[in-house]
Amino acid sequence: MFHNNIAVQIFAVILGIFVFPVLSFAQSSNCTRAYKPGGCAQFNRQECGKYMYPGDGCRCDVAGTSYDQFVPCYWNQKFNTCLADFRTEPWRGSCPIKIQSTARVAVVQLDSSKAGDYAAMTNLARQAKERGAELVIFPESSAFGWLNPEVFTQADPIPGNTSSEFAFVAISANIWVAAGLAERGPKIPGNTAAYEVYDSGLLINPKGEIVLHHRKYSVLKNAFNPKDCPAGLGKGGGSYTAGPLSDIKVAQTPFGRTAILVCADAYTYDTTALQTLKSLKPEFVIIPWGVAAGTEKDCGKEYFNATDFAAKAAKYLETAYMVGANAVGKRPYGRFLPSVYCGTSGFATPAGKIGGVADTLQEMAIFDIPVKRP
């Protein structure tokens, strides 16, 4: 009995010295103080990929939520910063943390030469599904190419043949699909063969059903090459027809309260479209981008960086993760040539920080993005 009591006392001392303090530490608000505050962006190149606490990777705050996630990070040479790599499973360290549900999203940096290549897009969607993605996003004007004058005579209404092609992509890969495409508008007055054209975006579910349909509001004026435009569009070149602000809607999806915008609708120099969306309190915003520059060396700089635009828009909205896909390759149509698409597809957090960005050489990048499941 005497020896048993000693054993019990020694066991209690061990618990008191080692176990209970650990438990107390793990439950205290001091748990994360060992980490450098502010998320991965404050880590320098030497610190990136290292925890301030045992593990592999650095601490990244998922800004705009009440959750902390601890995920591996990588050094992005193009942006000269440390970025969270949400493609991997968040590390669950010694601290008790809540891991928010994530959605795996594929962003396709479609080469401009593959616009309208539905077989290629179907193959990419199937690859995305095989890698666990729930949603695949294609860039702006993935059907004809942005500013292709053929749209004035060949674009289909929505629903129509073109939207059906994207519906087939969704059904065949059993995946959500978002894409930008040209949409036939009203007849051009005095022209029997040509129509006005909307620069539209669609979100389609795995059953092939259109869940969101948006016609771009913030269109660039006189962007088409004047010599290629049909009669009746006016002087100085033609333009896509602006869609109504009433097209800006949210729908409940597996990704939360979801919206889709098209490219310049998400620019903050004119916040008309963003303000309309902000009033709807979205949680997840999809953007088919068409961000281009005069030369490749300008890509990634301010005004030539799709995910930087997303970060600014997300900061303005305050409530939503924003994710988009931008094309790569030469822009063959329209004015102000030569021009190249800049890639830089990725996502931004509600705090306006870049959460992940694709390398320009990646045809498809995968990101795990925090979502609020319905």
Give the DSSP per-residue string, 70-131: EE-EEEETTTTEEEE-TTSPPP--SS------EEEEEEE--BGGGTT-HHHHHHHHHHHHHT
In this prediction, residue 226 carries a pLDDT of 86
Mean pLDDT of 358-367: 92
> Who wins on pLDDT, 116 or 192?
116
**3 located within any domain:** no
Q: Are 133 and 366 in contact (CB under 8 A)?
A: yes
Last residue of a domain, one of 78, 100, 122: 100
The answer to whether 46 touches 53, Cβ cutoff 8 Å, is no
Domain of residue 191: give its range.
Answer: 103-370
Please indicate, yes or no, if residue 22 is contained in any of the structural domains. no
Same domain? For 173 and 43 the reply is no
In DSSP notation, 197-248 reads EEEEEEEE-TTS-EEEEEE-SSPPTT-S-GGGSPTTS-SS---PPPPPGGG-
Q: Please give the average per-residue pLDDT across 201-222, as a whole number.
A: 97
Considering 84, 100, 116, which residue would you say is the last residue of a domain? 100
Position 231 scores a pLDDT of: 75
Question: pLDDT at residue 230 above 90?
Answer: no
Q: Are residues 96 and 166 in the same domain?
A: no
**Pair 66, 199 in one domain:** no
Whether 184 has a pLDDT exceeding 70, the answer reads: yes
Task: Tell me whether residue 136 is in a domain.
Answer: yes
Contacts of 86 (CB under 8 A, 6+ apart): 71, 102, 355, 356, 367, 368, 369
Q: What percent of the chain has pLDDT over 90?
A: 65
Report the pLDDT value the prediction gives residue 246, as an integer from 0 to 100: 97
Longest CA span, the chain: 107
Nearest in space to 61 (alpha carbons), one of 70, 52, 53: 70
pLDDT for residue 14 is more than 70: no
In this structure, are 90 and 170 located in the same domain? no
**76 located within any domain:** yes
**Domain stops at, among 75, 100, 125:** 100
Instruction: Tell me the range of 7-11, 44-48, 60-64 where mean pLDDT is highest.
Output: 44-48
Question: Could you give the CA distance from residue 333 to residue 143 in angstroms, rounded to a whole number?
Answer: 14
Mean pLDDT of 219-241: 81
Residues 122 and 207 reside in one and the same domain: yes
Average pLDDT, rounded, for the chain: 80
135 shares a domain with 69: no
- The answer to whether residue 248 is domain-embedded is yes
Q: How far is CA 97 from the centre of its chain?
A: 25
Residue 144: the pLDDT is 97
User: What CATH number should be reported for the domain holding residue 202?
Assistant: 3.60.110.10
Same domain, 88 and 194: no
Average pLDDT over residues 87-115: 68
The number of CA neighbours under 13 Å toward the Cβ of 369 is 33
pLDDT at residue number 77: 65
Residue 171 lies in a domain: yes
Domain shared by 63 and 136, yes or no: no
Q: Is the pLDDT of residue 191 over 50?
A: yes
- The answer to the question of residue 16 being in a domain is no
Work out the average pLDDT over 141-160. Answer: 97
309: its two tokens: 């635009």
Q: Same domain, yes or no, for 42 and 179?
A: no
Count: domains in the chain:
2
Look at residue 54 and tell me whether its pLDDT is greater than 50: no
Please tell me whether residues 164 and 44 are part of one structural domain. no
Q: Are residues 75 and 191 in the same domain?
A: no
pLDDT value of position 367: 94
pLDDT of residue 190: 82
- Per the domain annotation, does 144 fall within a domain? yes
Same domain for 155 and 71? no
